[in-house]
């Protein structure tokens, strides 16, 4: 899309009072890695704290890593691939167990969708492990539908569910 606004390009976003996204600093990658290595789905794979730290510490054009801060404290992480099948792919959205159930994930999802729509994107994408029923319910509640089952994608013997939220009407619109 020509002249579309840059998506997820700011170093900081205020999501709701007390909740903000900030670009993840290198030293914070270790905090996030440790935070998520002990919870599903990462613990079940298993991914170690070192592996998750390395993943969050990577710098990739078009895949910003954000810290999710709640009242100034690092409580989660978000990685968004900005150009994936005509819309962003939420590569990882995770919150520490102590802040789950407080509508923070929903606020972050609302922000992601708002940013994608502002940029004129057609879709939002995410994959969730089939055993991670809470994540599948969360994304379904936010308007995502199942589009594919992907066995052995992340690990042999594990299955991921690809979900899509269509942001624009498909009928009669060119995608080129």
CATH of the domain at 65: 3.40.630.30
Q: Establish how many alpha carbons lie within 13 A of residue 172's alpha carbon, considering only the half-sphere containing its beta carbon.
A: 0
Q: Which residues contact 174 (CB under 8 A, 6 or more apart)?
A: none
- Within a domain: 163: no
Distance CA 162, CA 94 (A): 17
Q: What is the pLDDT of residue 171?
A: 42
pLDDT in tens, 45-90: 889 999 999 999 999 989 999 999 999 999 999 999 998 998 999 9
**Is 138 among the domain residues?**
no
Residue 141 included in any domain: no
Q: Are the C-beta atoms of residues 107 and 70 closer than 8 Å to each other? A: no
In whole numbers, what is the pLDDT of the chain averaged over residues? Answer: 91
Does some domain include residue 173? no
Domain holding 54, by residue range, is 12-121
How high is the pLDDT of residue 64?
95
The total domain count for the chain is 1
**pLDDT tier at 106, thresholds 50, 70, 90:** very high
* Cα Rg of the chain (Å, integer): 16
Label residue 5 by pLDDT band (50, 70, 90): low
pTM (2 d.p.): 0.89
* Helix 49-57 × helix 26-37 angle, to 10°: 140
Residue 46 lies in a domain: yes
Is position 60 within any domain? Answer: yes
4 lies in a domain? no
Specify the pLDDT at position 168: 84
Does residue 4 register a pLDDT over 90? Answer: no
Q: What is the pLDDT of residues 128-171, one digit of tens each?
A: 999 999 999 999 999 999 999 999 998 899 999 999 999 986 54
Q: Is residue 144 part of a domain?
A: no
């Amino acid at each position: 899309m020509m002249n579309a606004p840059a998506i997820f390009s700011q170093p900081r976003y205020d999501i709701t009072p007390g909740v903000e996204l900030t670009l993840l600093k290198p030293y914070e990658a270790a905090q996030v890695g440790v935070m998520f290595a002990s919870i599903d789905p990462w613990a079940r794979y298993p991914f170690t704290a070192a592996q998750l730290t390395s993943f969050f510490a990577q710098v990739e054009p078009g895949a910003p890593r954000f810290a999710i801060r709640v009242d100034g404290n690092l409580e989660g992480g978000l990685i968004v691939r900005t150009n994936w099948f005509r819309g962003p792919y939420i590569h990882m959205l995770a919150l520490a167990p102590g802040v789950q159930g407080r509508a923070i994930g929903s606020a972050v999802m609302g922000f992601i969708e708002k940013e994608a729509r502002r940029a004129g994107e057609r879709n939002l994408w995410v994959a969730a492990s089939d055993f991670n029923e809470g994540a599948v319910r969360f994304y379904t509640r936010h308007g995502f539908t199942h589009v594919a089952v992907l066995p052995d994608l992340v690990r042999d013997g594990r299955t991921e569910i690809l979900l899509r939220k269509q942001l624009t009407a498909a009928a009669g619109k060119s995608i080129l």
